[in-house]
Structure 1
């Protein structure tokens, strides 16, 4: 399973990493990346979009540790 996470790093506050739970989870990395691309293009708000475009906010797909060992 894969999930989209957002990564930000503040000069004073340091790193912030949050799973984008509203997007759900994905069976494959490619499905996660497709959803992430669509979300970045269509769902970022007025504050987040410039942060993303200027490199202050990054979205990545991360595999969920232990999820593959759980029964489906």
Structure 2
């Protein structure tokens, strides 16, 4: 399973990562990337769009691993 994550790093606060829950999860990376390409930047608020355009905010597809799975 794959999910879209938003990632930003502030100098004093450190990393800030959150799942983009509105998009749900995906069976494979290609489906996740297609949803990401379709949604960004169209669905971003003005502040988030500016941060994304300036490279301060990234969206990535990440494989979700079940609890207790080590590999």
Give the alignment's TM-score, normalised by structure 1.
0.88
What is the aligned-residue RMSD (CA, Å)?
A: 1.5
Shift of 1:41: 3.1
Unaligned runs of 5+ in 1: none
Give the alignment's TM-score, normalised by structure 2.
0.89
Does structure 1 residue 43 correspond to structure 2 residue 70?
Answer: no
User: Which is richer in helix?
Assistant: 1
SS at match of 1:59: strand
Structure 1 Cα separation of the partners of residues 64 and 26 of structure 2: 10
Indicate the residue corresponding to 1:6 in structure 2.
Answer: 6
Shift of 1:50: 1.0
Question: What is the aligned residue count?
Answer: 68
